[in-house]
Amino acid sequence: TPANLNDLPPAARAAFLADVATLGDAVIAATGCERLNYLILCNQVPVLHAHVVPRFAHEDAGKRLMDPFAAYDFAGARRADSAGVDTALFRALQGFLETRTTRG
């Protein structure tokens, strides 16, 4: 398992980044966010992964310019609920991604 992006060969790097961008497209479509923050940190969890964080126009002005992990308490946030309150969001993300999947 690669620990960071640079552990991948060029074609795999490109595929990973393309997948992250596609996920970003899905998040924009599903949430109507103003923009996204893309983070590939691999500091606390040394396995290649990315965070795609939607940012909204209605955010507190002081937090809008901050790193999302500094601005918000993600550890204290409620967990996603795909079978409950977040069902519509999950379905929107899934529907978008199903139309754009190019690999099996």
* Segment 2-24, tens digit of pLDDT: 999 999 999 999 999 999 999 99
Long-range own/partner contacts, residues 76-85 (CB < 8 A, 24 or more apart): none
3-state SS assignment for residue 15: helix
Please, what are the domains in the chain? 5-100 (3.30.428.10)
Count the neighbouring beta carbons within 10 Å of the beta carbon of residue 24.
19
- In this predicted model, what pLDDT tens digit does every residue of 57-85 receive, in sequence order? 999 999 999 999 999 999 999 999 999 99
Q: Which of 7, 19, 13 is nearest to 101 (CA)?
A: 19
pLDDT of residue 104: 52
Using the predicted structure, report yes or no on whether residue 91 has a pLDDT greater than 60. yes
8 Å CB contact between 94 and 80: no
Q: How far is CA 87 from the centre of its chain?
A: 17
pLDDT, position 34: 96
